[in-house]
Amino acid sequence: MASGASDEAEQGELCGAPHLPFAVIRLIFESLDGADVAHAACVCCTWRAAAQDEGLWALLFTRRWRDTGSAAVLSEGAHAAFKTRHQLGACVAAMLAEAEGGTRNRQVLNRLASVEAMHPPAWLLHELQAHFRAAPPSPADEPRVNIVVRAVIEHATRVLARIAKSPDRPAAGALLDAACSLSLLVDPGADVAGVRLAVAKLAEASRARFTTLGIATDDLAARLLALTAFLFHPPAKETTADLLADAAAASAQPEGGLGLGGELSADQFDDVENTSLACCLSSRRGLPITLAVLHIAVGASAGVGVAPVGAPIKFMTRAPPPEHDIFFDVYQRGVVLTRAQLVGWVASFGNPAGGEEWLGVAPTDSVVQRMVLNLLRMVSTMPHPTARPHLPLGALSAGIAMQTDPHSRIRLDLLTRRARLARSLGMHDIAQEDLRAYEQALL
């Protein structure tokens, strides 16, 4: 160790740099951003060696972009991944600066889609949202803002289209992807990276609760019941505005939950924000299907299987068959239901067979279809949808993306509606594309 320290000191003197221990240089670099570290690397060989440390660049990467590229950091190296992300940001900014409206917008959107195909999709989304969240635009910036919103909508609908075409994808991952996409359609600036991080943190807190309760790893039924109670049961103590802080505190307690769910008033139930998982995590309220997706996603991350149940009127979850026949009404604070109770409940809606066909695991694509239909229904009843034009545009685009049959009547109707909306908003390129797609479907 003494020899290494003397070597570092000698190297610092030879380079003409101030005599600082290598560990101190590294600590200083951790407080800088990537550009400043790159500049500092030019000072001397000691600083350059510190600036080439992969652990440093991994820290800088995750601090700037959170968890939106951890896989790439591991696969190609943190320093290389940071440079790629930095160059991507400059490329996206240059493309957006070219937005002028009209057919030029379509060219920019196509180029952005090609960029997304070469990188993890979350990378492009992060860059687009950085522009969306910038200072309120002036009238001169309106084309750039419009193109950002459209690019976010197209990103979200591409995700939905892939889910529709790949019904065999693992349910938890596909449903979380779909829920994040709908959050973007409700609010193009929605922090979907934060949603994914929250799911991981809630799963971590759930596992801590299992340890607190002493539940064995192989006792899946007990873990599922504990997970549901942790997420949905009323809290034992007063909650704060920080869901994740409450989760960390509650994980060490043997009882009490986070209070997710609970009935909404009629007006609240038709609020489009209740379709957004990002809003659900903020308000702890949401539609039954939104809460169910959260239940499934957190369960998968915590190693506990949770399956969707597409019951009429109200979406629910259940233990994966055939091991257990346990059902959960997540809208009612995670109330546990037996099969007999649920069959009777479904029969009360006029189903003489007792609703056995509703109690199986709902296919992933049908769950996503139902999520999109909820959004379409709510947007169609909004009193002034053009006040937030991205909402009807995003909802109609999502509906079209979920139609795998190009000749279906539903798709043709949605194309017609979006063409009318686009024309009214001055987005003539979308109107022309939809009319061409309509004509081709009729041939």
Of all residues in the chain, what percent carry a pLDDT higher than 90?
40
Q: How confident is the model at residue 240 (pLDDT cuts 50, 70, 90)?
A: confident
Looking at the fold, whether 280 and 338 belong to one and the same domain comes out as: yes
In a domain, 92, yes or no: no
In a domain, 415, yes or no: yes
Last residue in a domain, options 338, 362, 386: 362
Query: Rounded to the nearest 10 degrees, what angle do helices 288-301 and 192-213 cross at?
Result: 60
Greatest Cα pair distance in the chain: 89
Looking at the fold, whether 260 and 331 belong to one and the same domain comes out as: yes
How many residues appear in the chain?
443
**Residue 84: enclosing H or E segment and its boundaries?**
helix 78-97
In a domain, 296, yes or no: yes
Angstrom distance (rounded) from CA 6 to CA 21: 10
Angstrom distance (rounded) from CA 296 to CA 305: 7
Looking at the fold, whether 146 and 287 belong to one and the same domain comes out as: no
Looking at the fold, whether 338 and 316 belong to one and the same domain comes out as: yes
Write down the mean pLDDT value for the chain: 84
In a domain, 185, yes or no: no
Collapsing DSSP to helix, strand or coil, 337 comes out as strand
Looking at the fold, whether 114 and 258 belong to one and the same domain comes out as: no
Looking at the fold, whether 258 and 328 belong to one and the same domain comes out as: yes
Angstrom distance (rounded) from CA 438 to CA 340: 47
Looking at the fold, whether 357 and 209 belong to one and the same domain comes out as: yes
Looking at the fold, whether 217 and 352 belong to one and the same domain comes out as: yes
Higher pLDDT, 91 or 344: 91
Looking at the fold, whether 347 and 214 belong to one and the same domain comes out as: yes
Looking at the fold, whether 199 and 277 belong to one and the same domain comes out as: yes
Angstrom distance (rounded) from CA 323 to CA 305: 11
In a domain, 86, yes or no: no
Tell me the pLDDT tens digit for each residue of 292-340. Answer: 999 999 999 999 999 999 877 789 999 988 778 889 999 998 999 888 8
Q: What is the mean pLDDT of residues 128-137?
A: 73
In a domain, 336, yes or no: yes
Tell me the pLDDT tens digit for each residue of 400-416. Answer: 999 989 999 999 999 99
The model's pTM = 0.84
Angstrom distance (rounded) from CA 158 to CA 160: 5
Q: How many domains does the chain have?
A: 4
Looking at the fold, whether 336 and 205 belong to one and the same domain comes out as: yes
Domain range for 410: 365-442
Looking at the fold, whether 352 and 369 belong to one and the same domain comes out as: no
In a domain, 394, yes or no: yes
- φ and ψ at 235, to 5 degrees? -70, 150
